[in-house]
């Protein structure tokens, strides 16, 4: 296992569209998933997409800690070749997001409240489920990385963008 280097905003790998994973069971994909999980935990993140570690494949890992998920915890998961369909009737909501490729900053970003997510798990098994709230937010953020989209590109109000230390000192209400 190993800790991987995380690309920071400005590196072109973060703007490229990633390619499909053909064989989830391939040893190099299994090793990549393990290393991405280790890297995410080491960095204290809740999600990490393959392009962030310089690999142009449609794959991410994520987790939802109990403190962030309205009490609903999602342990570490890998998602391969994801497809997202927003449930537009549920609307969008603003929520705070950071990104391991944009260290030290966070912003309020609009995301769909509810999505349908399908794809393959770390064993190559197909799944199809509905996610809401923070889990839906994390998945939309990570899936965006696979298309070269970073959260500032989703923002509509740049007054809600700042350094973590300052936003901790001067909390902003999201209404």
Within 13 Å of residue 109, how many CA atoms lie on the same side as its CB?
24
Backbone φ and ψ for 81, nearest 5 degrees, come out as 50, 55
Which of residues 29 and 139 has its CB atom nearest to Ni ion in the complex? 139
Q: Note if 142 is an active site residue.
A: yes
Residue 170 structure tokens: 């001067």
Q: How far is the CB of 125 from Ni ion (least distance, A)?
A: 25
Site stretch for Ni ion (CB under 5 A), options 66-74, 92-100, 110-118, 154-162: 92-100
Is there a contact between 84 and 58 (Cβ–Cβ < 8 Å)? no
Q: Candidates 11-19, 81-89, 99-107, 109-117 — which segment interacts with Ni ion by CB under 5 A? A: 99-107
- Do 174 and 96 contact (CB within 8 A), yes or no? yes
**Closer residue to Ni ion (CB): 99 or 120:** 99
Q: How far is the CB of 155 from Ni ion (least distance, A)?
A: 13
We find the least distance from the C-beta atom of residue 121 to Ni ion, in angstroms, to be 21
Applying CB under 5 A, does 59 fall inside the site for Ni ion? Answer: no
Q: Distance of CA 105 to CAs 40, 86, 168, Å?
A: 17, 27, 11
Taking alpha carbons only, the member of 61, 63, 62, 59 closest to residue 81 is 59
Element (H, E) at 107: strand 105-112
Q: Report the nearest approach of Ni ion to the CB of residue 86 (Å).
A: 19
Query: Which residue shows structure tokens 């369909």?
Result: 85
Catalytic residue (one of 142, 156, 165, 173): 142
Of 10-18, 81-89, 93-101, 117-125, the segment contacting Ni ion by CB under 5 A is: 93-101
Does the protein bind Ni ion through residue 99 (CB under 5 A)? yes
78 part of the interface to Ni ion, by CB under 5 A? no
Sequence-ordered list of residues with C-beta below 8 angstroms from that of 5, at least 6 positions apart, any chain: 53, 54
> Catalytic residues, which ones?
142
Residues in contact with Ni ion by the rule CB under 5 A: 99
């Amino acid at each position: 296992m190993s800790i991987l280097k995380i690309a920071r905003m400005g590196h072109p790998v973060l703007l490229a569209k990633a390619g499909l994973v053909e064989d989830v069971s391939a040893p190099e994909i299994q090793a990549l998933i393990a290393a991405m999980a280790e890297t995410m935990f080491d960095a204290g993140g809740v999600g990490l997409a393959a392009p962030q570690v310089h690999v142009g494949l449609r794959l991410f890992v994520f987790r939802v800690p109990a403190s962030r998920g309205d009490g609903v915890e999602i342990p570490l998961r890998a998602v391969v070749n994801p497809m997202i369909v927003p449930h537009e009737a549920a609307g969008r909501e603003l929520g705070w997001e950071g990104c391991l490729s944009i260290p030290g900053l966070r912003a309020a970003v609009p995301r769909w409240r509810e999505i349908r997510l399908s794809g393959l798990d770390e064993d190559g098994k197909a799944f199809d489920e509905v996610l809401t709230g923070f889990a839906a937010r994390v998945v939309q953020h990570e899936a965006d990385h696979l298309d070269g989209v970073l959260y500032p590109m989703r923002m509509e109000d740049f007054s809600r963008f700042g350094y973590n230390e300052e936003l901790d000192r001067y909390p902003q209400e999201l209404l």
